[in-house]
Amino acid sequence: MSRTIEFFYDLMSPYSHLANWRLPGVAKRSAAVVVPRPVSLPELLVLSGNQHPAELESKRDYMRRDLDALGRYYGIPMEWPEQWPVNSSRAMAALALLEGGAQQELANELFSAIWDRGENIADPDCLLALLGDSLWQQSDSDEARQRLNENTREAYERGAFGVPSCFAGERLFFGNERLFLLQMHLNG
Give me Rg for the CA atoms of the chain.
16
What own/partner pairs with CB < 8 Å and gap ≥ 24 does 165-171 have?
A: 165/8, 165/9, 166/5, 166/6, 166/7, 166/8, 166/19, 166/23, 167/5, 167/6, 167/8, 168/1, 168/2, 168/4, 168/5, 168/6, 168/32, 169/1, 169/2, 169/4
* Per-residue confidence (pLDDT) for residue 2, from 0 to 100: 53
Is 13 one of the catalytic residues? yes
19-39 pLDDT tens trace = 999 999 999 999 999 999 999
> Across residues 100-124, what is the average pLDDT?
96
Question: What span, in angstroms and rounded, lies between the C-alpha atoms of 85 and 61?
Answer: 13
Asked if residues 97 and 145 have their Cβ atoms less than 8 Å apart, the reply is no
> Is omega for the bond preceding 77 within 30 degrees of 0, making it cis?
no
* Per-residue confidence (pLDDT) for residue 12, from 0 to 100: 96
* Per-residue confidence (pLDDT) for residue 84, from 0 to 100: 86
81-102 pLDDT tens trace = 888 889 999 999 999 999 999 9
**Catalytic residue (one of 2, 13, 30, 112):** 13
